[in-house]
């Protein structure tokens, strides 16, 4: 039954692909017919063939291509929206009327070729999206009762089902490994170049490839909820979020066409007034009409932006709209969260400084007893060390978390505080500063009982791989770097010096991070990089919020402007370079398009160019050049 189902799906897919190819094949056949008729008409005209036959052949060329253009021009005219299709249709028909059928046919044929080029450019970007969609297999093998297996569509697999993943096969859905060990190629999702080891309890993602071992995976997300499906959805939505430059050009083009039609009419009338024949005046006006077609720069901008978004997605960077590409290109300052961004966020107890005759066991037990109620990384590190050293934890009453400071609660009848220096200061607890106990460097957690300081726990964190290189590259690009952290001044200074960051702000509460970002934004466009959850207010306050390792966080994908699917900070300077390159290409295309059109337009006004030059250089050639320039952005960064 499952095999029949798979066969049916394959047949349907093949049929669907065949149907979608039919219109394209027809268009290419019509382009071939139009080209053949155009060449044939020119040969017949040069050999002195009967004029009616020559006109007939040129008419075949015009109509073969024009069937895709003229109806659109007519619809635009009926709705009083004069567009590019109206311009080209008017120029082609006008050329036939004034006795220039070769030029009329050429206008229609070459414009049709430029349309096909635009479609190819769009197809290239759609291909990138389609490749993302196709990463998820249409079917998956699931484990049934008594060890039996069944191949079913991924859309029918439910949470809790167990997938059977053999070496070399693509993982169908997100889930947790429950049996076996392997390495997985996660490049399609995270952009990681090397396979990642997976064993029992590890997360795997739909669309990734099992390299070598046999594993069984318990499904945690259905087909429409996987990380891959969310990426595809967000990239598709990003295509519709236009950058400011793109919006400006769109508004400009709507007003531009009626203006150019008016100028064309005035040029024709002016030429008649200055003594040109009606044929000469009309021909000159039609040439300007063709040159005025704005398709080159109108098309090149969305192609550039969407190509950049698609290329970034292939590189493991999810950009949620063209507006963000443009904003990133203007970046002046990049702000980093510390824990979990510049550092791994996996804290461990480095040292315990003892005060007032309390023991290491007492200090750690009190701290872990309170912190066992919390999911904070510091809490996990404190609980972990007591498990290793086999301390027995008590029960907490009246537990409460104090944002940006720590926690408090009762153990028995005694009130305890565990947190940073600010917490103890606010509780008016005097800190013990006995000199023989050197607390060293790291994240300091103070433990107090009522009004007495019991001890200070020092936790350390490891620097994230690639952090130093990323910061160095940003500084070389002339971008200011700053670290924002709630950690102590001592720890912040140590990490900032190790990473090579320009400056830092320490002991910040969440709202203080927001104020810091707002002040940074006054210097120019700002980027904030954080984990996408704890740093949500600061991410939202920045001009661009970038979430780290969004592959493991639903919130990161939803709240950030840009998400790094892999926890690699080196992607940030690469993204800024790509954004700058994108906007550079956009500017190149706009400047070249307008310059060429102005030059050819001036020449056309004085009758120095014909319709062949107008369409060959001023329209089709220019369109081809700017689209080819834009499509360079699709390539994956090496």
Of the residues 420, 440, 460, the one at which a domain ends: 460
**Whole-number average pLDDT of the chain:** 79
Shared domain check, 178 and 119: no
Q: What are the pLDDT digits (tens) for 512-552?
A: 888 898 898 888 889 999 875 557 678 878 888 898 875 54
For residue 603, pLDDT over 70 is answered with: yes
Shared domain check, 244 and 256: yes
Shared domain check, 535 and 433: no
Q: What are the pLDDT digits (tens) for 40-56?
A: 998 998 888 888 899 99
Strands annotated E in 166-251: 175-180, 182-185, 196-198, 203-204, 209-210, 215-219
Question: Is there a domain that residue 330 lies in?
Answer: yes
Residue 462 CA to residue 344 CA, distance in Å, equals 6
Of the residues 225, 258, 285, the one at which a domain ends: 225
Shared domain check, 275 and 153: no
- Tell me what pLDDT residue 119 has: 73
Phi, psi of 491 (to 5 degrees): -65, -45
Residue 320 CA to residue 371 CA, distance in Å, equals 37
Look up the domain containing 396 and give its range: 348-460
Tell me the torsion sign for CA atoms 291, 294, 299, 301.
Answer: positive
Q: Provide mean pLDDT across the span 379-404.
A: 85
Question: Is there a domain that residue 359 lies in?
Answer: yes
Of the residues 460, 492, 521, the one at which a domain ends: 460
Is 482 or 22 the better-scoring residue by pLDDT? 482
Query: Count of domains in the chain?
Result: 4
Q: What are the pLDDT digits (tens) for 93-147?
A: 877 887 778 877 877 887 787 677 667 756 655 665 566 566 678 888 898 877 7
CA atoms within 13 A on the CB side of 584: 9
Shared domain check, 57 and 126: yes
The model's pTM: 0.60
Contacts of residue 247, defined as CB under 8 A and 6 or more positions apart, other chains included, come to none
Shared domain check, 126 and 250: yes
Contacts of residue 406, defined as CB under 8 A and 6 or more positions apart, other chains included, come to 417, 418, 419, 420, 423, 445, 446
Question: Is there a domain that residue 570 lies in?
Answer: no
Shared domain check, 531 and 504: yes
Shared domain check, 247 and 383: no
Per the residue annotation, which of 161, 174, 337, 408 is the catalytic one?
337
For residue 265, pLDDT over 70 is answered with: yes
- Tell me what pLDDT residue 336 has: 94
CB-based contact 575:633 (threshold 8 Å): no
Residue 582 CA to residue 588 CA, distance in Å, equals 10
For residue 419, pLDDT over 60 is answered with: yes
Shared domain check, 328 and 366: no
- pLDDT confidence band for 451 (50 / 70 / 90): confident
Q: Provide mean pLDDT across the span 187-200.
A: 69
Question: Is there a domain that residue 423 lies in?
Answer: yes
- pLDDT confidence band for 437 (50 / 70 / 90): very low
- Tell me what pLDDT residue 471 has: 95
Question: Is there a domain that residue 232 lies in?
Answer: no
Contacts of residue 600, defined as CB under 8 A and 6 or more positions apart, other chains included, come to 291, 609, 613, 614, 617, 618
State the CATH number of the domain containing residue 192.
2.70.150.10
Shared domain check, 449 and 386: yes
Q: Provide mean pLDDT across the span 421-440.
A: 70
Question: Is there a domain that residue 150 lies in?
Answer: yes
Two tokens at 365?
């037990």
Highest mean pLDDT among 193-202, 231-240, 245-254, 521-530: 521-530
Strands 525-530 and 503-505: unpaired
State the CATH number of the domain containing residue 402.
3.40.1110.10
Shared domain check, 108 and 19: yes
Q: Which helix (H) or strand (E) holds 446?
A: strand 443-449
CB-based contact 567:615 (threshold 8 Å): no
- Tell me what pLDDT residue 434 has: 45
Question: Is there a domain that residue 375 lies in?
Answer: yes
Q: Provide mean pLDDT across the span 595-624.
A: 75
CB-based contact 355:453 (threshold 8 Å): yes
Q: Provide mean pLDDT across the span 551-568.
A: 69
- Of 184-193, 336-345, 576-585, the poorest mean pLDDT is in 184-193
Question: Is there a domain that residue 313 lies in?
Answer: no
Q: Provide mean pLDDT across the span 506-517.
A: 82
State the CATH number of the domain containing residue 525.
3.40.50.1000
- Tell me what pLDDT residue 559 has: 63
Query: Does the active-site annotation cover 408?
Result: no
- Tell me what pLDDT residue 146 has: 74
Shared domain check, 250 and 175: no
């Amino acid at each position: 039954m499952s095999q029949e189902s798979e066969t049916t799906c394959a047949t349907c897919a093949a049929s669907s692909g065949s149907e979608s190819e039919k219109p394209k094949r027809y268009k290419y056949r019509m382009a071939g017919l139009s080209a053949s008729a155009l060449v044939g008409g020119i040969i017949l005209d040069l050999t002195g063939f009967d004029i009616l036959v020559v006109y007939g052949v040129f008419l075949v060329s015009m109509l073969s291509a024009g069937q895709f253009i003229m109806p659109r021009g007519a619809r635009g005219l009926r709705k009083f929206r004069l567009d590019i299709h109206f311009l080209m249709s008017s120029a082609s028909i006008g050329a036939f009327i004034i006795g220039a059928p070769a030029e009329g046919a050429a206008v229609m044929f070459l414009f049709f070729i430029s349309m096909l080029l635009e479609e190819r450019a769009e197809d290239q970007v759609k291909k990138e999206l389609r490749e993302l969609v196709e990463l998820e297999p249409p079917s998956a093998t699931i484990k049934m009762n008594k060890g039996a297996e069944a191949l079913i569509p991924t859309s029918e697999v439910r949470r809790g089902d167990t997938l059977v993943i053999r070496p070399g096969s693509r993982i169908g859905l997100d889930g947790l490994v429950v049996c076996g060990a392997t390495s997985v190629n996660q490049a399609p999702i995270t952009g990681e170049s090397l396979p990642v080891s997976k064993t029992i309890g590890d997360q795997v993602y739909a669309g990734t490839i099992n390299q070598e071992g046999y594993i069984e995976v318990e499904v945690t997300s259905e087909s429409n909820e996987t990380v891959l499906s969310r990426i595809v959805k967000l990239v598709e939505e990003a295509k519709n979020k236009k950058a400011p430059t793109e919006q400006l050009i769109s508004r400009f083009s709507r007003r531009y066409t009626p203006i150019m039609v008016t100028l064309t009419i005035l040029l024709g009338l002016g030429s008649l007034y200055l003594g040109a024949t009606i044929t000469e005046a009309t021909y000159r006006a039609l040439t300007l009409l063709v040159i005025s077609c704005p398709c080159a720069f109108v098309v090149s901008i969305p192609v550039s932006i969407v190509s950049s978004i698609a290329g970034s997605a292939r590189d493991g960077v999810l950009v949620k709209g063209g507006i963000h590409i443009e904003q990133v290109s203007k970046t002046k300052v990049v702000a980093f969260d510390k824990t979990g961004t510049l550092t791994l966020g996996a804290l461990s107890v480095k040292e315990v400084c003892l005060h007032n005759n309390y023991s290491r066991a007492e200090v750690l037990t009190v701290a872990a007893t309170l912190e066992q109620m919390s999911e904070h990384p510091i809490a996990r590190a404190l609980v972990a060390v007591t498990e290793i050293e086999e301390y027995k934890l008590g029960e907490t009453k009246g537990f409460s978390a104090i944002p940006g400071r720590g926690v408090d609660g009762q153990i028995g009848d005694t009130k305890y505080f565990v947190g940073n220096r600010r917490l103890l200061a606010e509780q008016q607890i005097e800190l013990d500063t006995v000199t023989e106990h050197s607390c060293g460097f790291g994240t300091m957690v103070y433990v107090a009982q009522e009004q007495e300081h019991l001890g200070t726990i020092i936790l350390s964190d490891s620097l994230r791989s690639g952090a130093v290189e990323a910061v160095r590259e940003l500084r070389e690009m002339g971008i200011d770097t700053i670290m924002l952290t709630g950690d102590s001044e001592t720890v912040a200074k140590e990490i900032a010096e190790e990473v090579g960051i320009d400056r830092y702000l320490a002991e910040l509460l969440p709202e203080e991070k927001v104020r810091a970002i707002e002040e940074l934004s006054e210097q120019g466009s700002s980027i904030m990089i954080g984990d996408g959850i704890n740093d949500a207010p600061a991410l939202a306050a920045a001009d661009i919020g970038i979430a780290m390792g969004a592959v493991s966080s639903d919130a990161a994908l939803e709240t950030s402007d840009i998400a790094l699917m892999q926890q690699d900070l080196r992607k940030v300077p690469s993204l800024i370079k790509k954004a700058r390159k994108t906007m550079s290409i956009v500017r190149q295309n706009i400047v070249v398009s307008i310059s060429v059109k102005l030059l050819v337009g001036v020449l056309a006004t004085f009758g120095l160019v014909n319709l062949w030059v107008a369409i060959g250089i001023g329209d089709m050639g220019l369109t081809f050049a700017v689209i080819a320039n834009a499509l360079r952005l699709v390539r994956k960064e090496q």
